[in-house]
Amino acid sequence: MRKYIIYARRYVRPKLSQIDQEKVTSFYSAIRRESALVGGISIAVRHIESVLRMSEAHARMHLRDYVRGDDIDMAINMLLESFLQSQKTSVARQLRKKFEPYLTKKTDSNQLLLHILSKIAQDRAIYEKIMKGIEEVERVEVSIPVDQFEYEARDFTNANISDFFKSQAFAKEFHIEGRFIKTITKI
């Protein structure tokens, strides 16, 4: 980790040449207008400069030469979350609805849920193999309670789990029987 940090500080200098300037300017004008209306923290040019510096830092962490759109999105999201947390709850709720396009993450929640479920299935398969004393089996049928999966997934994402159960990613490896998720897992 130390070598990574030294390398990033010494050799990586991301450039801002390929950023979506229209997105940054529209975000700045919208958040400045809303901050004036709600009487909260006033948004100044230094806040947009901090968005640009945060996006450069995010690109540096990924060892990229240029700042990409996802770096800008992350920085805007961070500034917006900070701004919303400094507001009263009722005001923040209204502002969150107005700024929803800037808050959406470009991640596929089904892939995250599939990873979580696969990890639970792998752990359960190893446990059952040890408990049954099976040595030479490569594949084990596993039953995972739906409640356990929902509890584990809640810590990582707010995605709709019922939509995940209907997805093709889920249907490839898993199926539901009653209140259990079943699969055959390699060990």
| pLDDT tens per residue, range 2-55 | 999 999 999 999 998 878 888 889 999 998 888 888 776 778 889 989 999 999
Element containing residue 113 per DSSP (H, E): helix 109-132
* Residue 106 clears pLDDT 70, i.e. is over it: no
Distance of CA 36 to the CA centre of its chain: 30
Pair of tokens at residue 9? 């500080």
pTM: 0.56
Distance CA 122, CA 8 (A): 35
